[in-house]
Amino acid sequence: MATRGELLGEVMSETGTTQSRLSRLSGVHQPSISQYVSGRTELSDEMLDRLLECMGRRLEVTRRTVQPELTRSERRSWRLHQQLSLDLSPQTLEDWIPHIESRLEHLRTRITGQPHTRNLERWTRLVHDRDVPGIRRTLNGLDRDSIEMREVSPLGGLLGEQDRLKVLATL
């Protein structure tokens, strides 16, 4: 799938529109258009649509779901953390804080290297700030950042054995 900048460049080629002409039509500086086309600057859907309209085109965005490719270990970790997110609330977080802080201290003595040490600090901030929505996004996220955060999760041991076994049985 083409990037937004590549798509802009393709339509410019198809319509014979130069960067200079597109700049005059759209009011967007030519150096910005050059950076969009080259991929040096990210182009938003809104800006792309605005530029395409100057060339007689519109942007149509099609959204579809995809199942991310996770390793068995990543899927297992996601499902266990997802189960914890069912119980997460401001009150349960307060109840969990002593356990989480103890686990963070334990992990700090054993973890080295990036991104693990950086992610431990991010966990520390999330917990310190009592950021329930941020913790929930990390527990449920399927992006690479959330996956790496869960690799050093201080929430181990919070899920009851019966719930843990139930989750593992579904894998």
In terms of domains, do 36 and 88 share one?
Answer: no
In terms of domains, do 20 and 90 share one?
Answer: no
In terms of domains, do 161 and 128 share one?
Answer: yes
- Judge whether 122 lies within some domain: yes
In terms of domains, do 102 and 48 share one?
Answer: no
- Judge whether 63 lies within some domain: no
- Judge whether 87 lies within some domain: yes
- Sign, CA torsion 149/133/86/103: positive
In terms of domains, do 162 and 84 share one?
Answer: yes
In terms of domains, do 105 and 162 share one?
Answer: yes
In terms of domains, do 91 and 150 share one?
Answer: yes
Helix (H), strand (E), coil (C) string for 136-164? HHHHHCCCHHHHHHHCCCCCCCCCCHHHH
- Judge whether 67 lies within some domain: no
pLDDT tens sequence for the chain (171 residues): 789 999 999 999 999 999 999 999 999 999 999 999 999 999 999 999 999 999 999 999 888 898 999 999 999 999 999 999 999 999 999 999 999 999 999 999 999 999 999 999 999 999 999 999 999 999 999 999 999 999 999 999 999 999 999 999 998
- CATH number, domain at 36? 1.10.260
Are 123 and 104 in contact by the 8 Å Cβ rule? The answer is: yes
Q: What is the pLDDT of residue 127?
A: 97
In terms of domains, do 160 and 79 share one?
Answer: yes
In terms of domains, do 31 and 78 share one?
Answer: no
In terms of domains, do 101 and 47 share one?
Answer: no
- Judge whether 58 lies within some domain: no
Q: In which residue are the tokens 């083409």 written?
A: 2
Q: How far is CA 89 from CA 93, 95, 120, in A?
A: 6, 10, 21
In terms of domains, do 84 and 12 share one?
Answer: no
Q: Which domain holds residue 14?
A: 4-53
Question: Does pTM surpass 0.95?
Answer: no
Q: What is the pLDDT of residue 1?
A: 74
In terms of domains, do 151 and 78 share one?
Answer: yes
Number of domain units in the chain:
2
- Judge whether 65 lies within some domain: no
- Judge whether 133 lies within some domain: yes
